[in-house]
Amino acid sequence: MEEKEISQAVIGRLPRYFRYLGDLKDEGVERISSQELSELMKVTASQIRQDFNNFGGFGQQGYGYNVEFLYKEIGKILGLDKTHHLIIIGAGNLGQALGNYMNFEKRGFLLKGMFDKSTELQGKEIRGIPVQPMENIESFVRENNIDIAVLTIPKTSAVEVAEVLANNGIKAIWNFAHVDLNVPEGIQVENVHLSDSLMKLSYNLERYTKEQNK
Amino acid sequence: MEEKEISQAVIGRLPRYFRYLGDLKDEGVERISSQELSELMKVTASQIRQDFNNFGGFGQQGYGYNVEFLYKEIGKILGLDKTHHLIIIGAGNLGQALGNYMNFEKRGFLLKGMFDKSTELQGKEIRGIPVQPMENIESFVRENNIDIAVLTIPKTSAVEVAEVLANNGIKAIWNFAHVDLNVPEGIQVENVHLSDSLMKLSYNLERYTKEQNK
DNA sequence: ATTCTTGTGTCAATTCATTGACATTATTTT
DNA sequence: AAAATAATGTCAATGAATTGACACAAGAAT
C-alpha cells in the first residue's frame, strides 16, 4: 500500500491541511467536503482529493471527510504521533527564539539540549535547558537519543558541526544557516533560508511595482 | 523584453544562485560555465541556462558567465540594488532575532521601526530602534515610507494587523504568523511557516526510518 | 588565416503536477 | 422502500517544469 513515493509537492501541502483541519476541529466542525475545504483554503477540490488519496481514501462518498479523523490521520502521516528529541545548536537570538517557542513541544518536539560556543551564554537556561559548550555535542547526541538538531549558527561553522552530528547518528537537521549542508544520504535536511525568503519577497515587490508603472 | 511572467519556481532558485555566485566572487573566481556551476550546486546545467535565459542571456558562448557581472545582475533582478524600509511588528524573541540580524542591512533592508503590544517591551531598543506601541503603526507606516512589514506576532492578532497595514499603504508583508493572511491583491505576502517546515522534516524523517526497517 | 574546442541559447522531448470529468456509492428525503 | 442528492475516488486531459540535444558563436590553438 504505502509503496509509491509521495511527491514533495504533496508533502509540502500537508501541514497546511493539518492547520486548517485543526482550526475546524476546534470550532466544532464534524465533517467537511472537499468542495467546502477548497473554498476555505483557496485551492481546487480536485487537488485536495488527489492529495488525500495518495494515502488511501480518508473520505466517504456522499458524506465527505470526518474532520477529527482526517486531522489525526494527517498528523500520523507527518509523524506527529511520535515524540522527537531535539537539540538547538547556537543559542543566539534565533536559537533562543526557537527554544522558547512552546508550540513545538505540543506537537511532540521536545527540546533536550542547547549548545553554544560563547562562554557568556553557557550556563544560561532556556526554559530550564542549560546552554552547554560545543564539545559536549557528540556525547550528548549519542547518549540522549537525539534525532533532530536545529542549526542556528553562522554558516562558517555549520558545515563542520553538521559533519560531527552526522558522525554521531543524528537523523535530521533543521538548518537555519545560510549554507547548503553536505551530509550523507539518509540524513534528512530541511533548510530555512530566511534571507532567500526575503529576497523572493523583494523580487515580487519590485516586479509588481514595475508592472503598475507601465 | 521583460514581458512574459517568470515562474515562481525560477524566482525561488535565484537567491541560491546569488549566494553561490557571491561566494565565488569572494574567492576571486572570474568566470564559470553552467557545467561547473551545476556540479557545485548539484542541479542540471540545462536548468541553470534555462533559468538565466528567462532574463535574457547573461553568458557568452565559448566563455561561460562572468561571475561578478552575473552576481550583480541577479542582485538587480531581486531588487537588491534598491533600499527597502521595514518595520517589525512583534518584538518577542523572534522579532528581536530578526531585528538583530545585521545581514539584512547589508542587502539594503533597513529596519526603521519596531512595535509591540506589551508595555514591558515598549521603550526597549534593538540596535538603536525603540519598540513602540501598536497604536503608532498606522501613522508610522504612512509617514516613513515603509514598504515591508515583518509580522512576528501570534496568529490571533496577525490577521487584523495585516488589514491595518494594507489600509495604510504597505506593499509587502513577511509573515511569520501561522495563519494565511487575506490581503488585497497587489500586496505581496511571503510566508515563513516554521512549524510547517518542521513537520515536513518530521515526515521525511519518519518515511526514511520506515523504509530502512523493510 | 584556419581549424578546433568550448559552452551558450534555444528547441524539442520528457517527466511531473494540476485540473476536469464522471461513474459509483453512501446518505438523505419523500 | 425507492428516488434524489451529495460527494468521493479515480481516470483522462491539460498545463507546467525539467531535462536532453544540438546548432552556432566566441575564443584558443595551430
| pLDDT tens by residue, A28-73 | 999 999 999 999 999 999 999 999 999 988 998 889 999 999 999 9
Residue B102, C-alpha cell as written in the block: 545585521
In this predicted structure, the answer to whether residue B1 has a pLDDT above a threshold of 50 is: no
Q: What is the pLDDT confidence band of residue B3, given thresholds at 50, 70 and 90?
A: low
Chain B contact present for A178, CB below 8 A: yes
The per-residue pLDDT for A208 is 85
| pLDDT tens by residue, B14-35 | 999 999 999 999 999 999 999 9
Which candidate, A184, A75, A157, A61, places its Cα nearest to that of B202? A75
With CB atoms and an 8 Å threshold, state whether B206 touches A82. yes
CA distances from B114 to A97, A198, B90, B105 (A): 17, 18, 7, 15
Residue A168, C-alpha cell as written in the block: 554521531
Q: Is the CB of B99 under 7 A from strand C?
A: no
> In whole angstroms, what is the distance from residue A204 CA to residue A209 CA?
8
- CA–chain centroid gap for A57, Å, is 25
* Nearest nucleotide, CA A10 to C1': C17
Interface of A with B in 134-173 (CB under 8 A): 147-148, 171-172
Report pTM.
0.95
> In whole angstroms, what is the distance from residue B90 CA to residue B105 CA?
19
Average pLDDT over chain B, rounded to an integer: 94
Q: What is the pLDDT confidence band of residue B214, given thresholds at 50, 70 and 90?
A: low
Work out the number of other CB atoms within 10 angstroms of the CB of residue A125: 10
In this predicted structure, the answer to whether residue B212 has a pLDDT above a threshold of 90 is: no
Query: How many inter-chain contacts (A to B, CB under 8 Å) are there?
Result: 163
- Protein chain A, residues 4-23, with a C-beta closer than 7 Å to any atom of nucleic acid strand C: 7-10
Positions of chain A with pLDDT lower than 50, given as ranges: 1-2
Q: Is the CB of B53 under 7 A from strand C?
A: yes
Q: State the nearest Cα–Cα gap between A81 and chain B, in angstroms.
A: 11
- Cβ contacts of B188 on chain A, cutoff 8 Å: 201, 204-205, 208
